[in-house]
A and B are shown apart, each in its own frame.
Chain A
């Protein structure tokens, strides 16, 4: 009987009865052919590949990460509780030592969901990786986490959630934002004042193929990971870099994805996008699972694979090398950059608009963070959407210093009930998620 070298956990939850809308790319059929391939290859019979049934995440699990407006129920469906629950189940299996690594093959995805949630962005409502990671941090002794996002779209939601967290390295490799949704993810987006450098963006030109992805992994991502020394490595394993994906312009392959997986050695992989549901997903998922399990994947090949047809031009190669150099130079300068910031103002502020393309909502945010030498800094966000909800969201980070804790509580308690419909507090050190709406406060 075939035996895997690594004990690999799988949660397979294709949500065969859930879709954003009948003809939306994120629909019932999306993992149907992947299921066929997984079943026909007999993957679940391989000794040391273990399938788990997803649990549902709890309200606390979601509120630990997100400020949902007006509440969690309004911006999620049960499918989100299950897909995040699938990731959580795999995370627990890995940290309990039941498996060496694991892959949550679940939908819907999550990497475009930001800290504040007014609705769905890029098919995502809640950030399933972040919900998993913050649960794991609460339940197990882990601190430093690296997320390597290999989806074709910039993981702007994950970036937003970890923007100020110096203990989380977020690396996103994606198609250049000037040519693809969501239009962000440039190398100079490097994280907030307390976490400068721990956000790493590597935009690659359209038509990047195996050569370019593997070059970037080997020469940019792996050295950064080695420097960061994470306790846990997460792969946001989107599969829309595939040459046959209908909504992107890259030239990656099943073999390439398997090679990338083998090189990265992630503890946990979580499925993100990927919409070539027949020509790519069955083969890419097969390649990823085999690579994680340490089984030969040399014969995994999609039917219309022709390496000559998808080979990248020398121009693309040169552009990739240049981006890599720039990213590495930013990475090397992250400590002096942080020193410079600490000598400036006590507070950092930014204003921005967030567009929820899936739900057609526009949100404007005004954010204020305390620049702190000792922790990730107390954070407050004044957010209002064109649907009329205005909220004040206060976040006291994990391992906050006393000053930031006090400040966070002060912000929460002194919020003006006439200005905000809702005031929310994420008190991570106290493990409390508080909410007061204007009606309550007036009483």
Chain B
């Protein structure tokens, strides 16, 4: 049996899955001031009366790191940044203890200017004087040559509890994002480590010594142990949980959209043949643009509990949530109240819903029914318009080859999968107002926790080869080897796959779930003075986000 747990803004959902399908599902209120108790309590409830031996795997998706960043509840960290020529590195300042230092590496990884140890020592003294024990080190083009980051960390060695190096965080170019991502990792490191070590200890005490995985923003998982060194990957895993909970029900060989209609927000994502579309570079959080791999999720501030107001005869829905719907004791009318008035939702206080919508109806000079219908229609219309905007945005992403411009894949979804509290009430109307075939995902109320439970381990490797310099490198994986002029794109992909397999297994993957694919494979002849002097090869490979195969049969039982 496996457990999936997803901490949400309002509720925490936990499911227990086994051979027979969904065995248990529990929803408890999230206590943001004590997430640890929330997690532990939900795990206690879901396992109560079960022998601990029967649990094989636990996957957790929490808001721990996301919230600490959003609320800026993060400890002081030190940042050392080596930029060289280009944009002033102070324009990317992340925090108070941010020290640009000398040193410069160019686009091919050649040293232009060395780092100066005395500058590093000075920065380190300043950090120590301010009780800083976690440091981030980032240099420009470090993914092409990490020598400067390594040299800086050598100087810092033994003085700090943990030093994060930019080139180990992602294989992608983007210096400002590398700075922000390294900073975030260093910042949430102690919080994340303390929390998950405590979770591990508590579960051990209960006799639950099973692999624990943490959900990442890209819809994949990693073992609790590997998460300690890359806590940033856990940021914004919530929307990924919902998407993963839907993909088993998406059509084969076709595009689809997934929508999680919640109380405050509606999240949308796109699937191509059951594989979620990834964010091209990385997520944005708390004003930081990062290199954190993530599913491309489009969030709008519109949900069942969005507050409805009327100003000058114009109806506005959201963006705020002022509480639950009036039908559930809330202060202001919401789309859920409109659904109650229309008779779509029962088992609630219809009178209160009517009183809220009636007030709106009167100020617009409309009937109660018409107003409720208008509200419902506007919500659906807005959701569909945003979905179209997301598709357009995905389809208008720049490409850099003639081939891609002409033959590039165009997303064209025909199916819309919806989940979340109000999902079933929306299905008919969304289908009526659009060309989509709309499906409510089975077990829509806990699909997010099911998604977490079934998600497989994902990872990515970027390999760069420059045969003129005679090197092939994947510095993120601490890989570097000498190559000769015959080194080819095919060999680069082979190398990258090998590294990827190793990395995924290290992060907790099952060997049966290593569905690998090439994301990028470019090869350029390097010409100097009308002679071909080498090849410049860039390869990026990934384990596709998806579900673990071991539970294929379980998924089939969920539809019942």
Contact = CB atoms under 8 A, between A and B. Distances in A.
A27 B528 CA distance: 12
A54 interface: yes
Contacts of A15: 400-402
B294 to A, nearest CB: 15
Given A15-B402, A246-B529, A299 B88 contact: yes
Nearest to B527: A23
A36 B527 contact: no
A45 B399 contact: no
For chain B, give the interface size range.
35 or more
Contacts of B526: 29
B92 interface: yes
Given A29-B527, A290-B87, A295-B87, A17 B403 contact: yes
Interface in B71-115: 83, 85-88, 91-92, 104, 106-108, 112
Contacts of A22: 525, 527, 532
A2 B91 contact: yes
Contacts of B227: none
A193 to B, nearest CB: 42
Contacts of A41: 86-87, 175-176
Given A299-B86, A301-B85, A27 B402 contact: no
Nearest to A31: B400
A39 B86 contact: no
Contact of A45 (B83, B85, B88, B176): B176
A295 B92 CA distance: 13
B176 A37 contact: no
A281 to B, nearest CB: 10
Contacts of B88: 296, 298-299
Contact of B524 (A28, A282, A286, A290): A28
B85 A42 contact: no
B351 to A, nearest CB: 48
B409 interface: no
A278 B108 contact: yes
B48 interface: no
Interface string B402-442: 11011000000000000000000000000000000000000
Contacts of B522: 16
Contacts of B175: 40-42
A274 interface: no
A408 interface: no
B153 interface: no
A33 B177 contact: no
A155 B177 CA distance: 40
B277 interface: no
Contacts of B189: none
Interface residues of A, number: 47
A23 B400 contact: no
Contacts of A298: 88
Interface in A301-341: 301-303
A28 B400 contact: no
B85 A29 contact: no
A40 B108 contact: no
A17 B175 CA distance: 27
A35 B403 CA distance: 18
Nearest to A302: B85
Interface in B240-299: 281, 287, 289
A32 interface: yes
B203 interface: no
Contacts of B403: 17
A54 to B, nearest CB: 7
A23 B86 contact: no
Contact of B402 (A36, A78, A246, A302): A78
A328 B254 CA distance: 65
Contact of A36 (B173, B287, B399): B173
B112 A2 contact: no
Interface in A1-50: 1-2, 11-18, 22-23, 27-29, 32-33, 35-37, 39-42, 45
Nearest to A27: B527
B527 A299 contact: no
A40 B107 contact: yes
A375 B108 CA distance: 54
Interface string A328-361: 0000000000000000000000000000000000
Contact of A42 (B141, B176, B536): B176
Contacts of B194: none
A42 B177 CA distance: 7
B174 interface: yes
Contact of B85 (A278, A296, A300): A300
B532 A33 contact: no
Given A14-B400, A16-B401, A17-B402, A283 B524 contact: no
A51 B140 CA distance: 22
Nearest to B526: A29
Nearest to B140: A40
Residue picked from A27, A283, A303, most chain B C-beta under 10 Å: A303
A181 interface: no
A29 B107 contact: no
Interface string A273-284: 000001000110
A117 to B, nearest CB: 20
Contacts of A296: 87-88, 91
Nearest to A36: B107
A16 to B, nearest CB: 5
Interface string A174-196: 00000000000000000000000
Contact of B287 (A1, A300, A303): A1
B401 A45 contact: no
A21 B127 CA distance: 55
A73 B173 CA distance: 38
A83 to B, nearest CB: 10
B397 interface: yes
Given A29-B524, A78-B406, A303-B112, A53 B396 contact: yes
A45 B289 contact: yes
Interface string A136-148: 0000000000000
Given A2-B176, A40-B175, A42-B174, A82 B536 contact: no
Contact of A53 (B281, B398, B401): B398
Nearest to B395: A53
Interface in B422-471: none
Contacts of A278: 107-108
B402 A79 contact: yes
A240 B396 CA distance: 32
B397 A299 contact: no
Contact of B398 (A42, A51, A301): A51
Given A16-B522, A298-B88, A39 B406 contact: no
A52 interface: yes
B314 interface: no
Contact of A39 (B108, B173, B525, B536): B173
A248 B411 CA distance: 46
Contacts of A295: 87, 91
A53 B397 contact: yes
Contacts of A246: 529
Nearest to B172: A39
B531 interface: yes
Contact of A300 (B86, B141, B174, B177): B86
Interface of A: 1-2, 11-18, 22-23, 27-29, 32-33, 35-37, 39-42, 45, 51-54, 56, 78-79, 82, 246, 278, 282-283, 286, 290, 295-296, 298-303
Given A33-B107, A79-B402, A278-B108, 5 more contacts: A12-B398, A40-B141, A53-B397, A53-B398, A296-B87
Interface of B: 83, 85-88, 91-92, 104, 106-108, 112, 140-141, 173-177, 281, 287, 289, 396-403, 405-406, 522, 524-527, 529-532, 536
**Across the A-B interface, the 4 shortest Cβ-Cβ residue pairs:** A42-B176, A39-B173, A301-B85, A36-B107
14 contacts: A2-B92, A14-B400, A22-B532, A36-B107, A37-B86, A40-B141, A41-B87, A56-B405, A78-B402, A78-B406, A278-B108, A286-B86, A295-B87, A303-B104
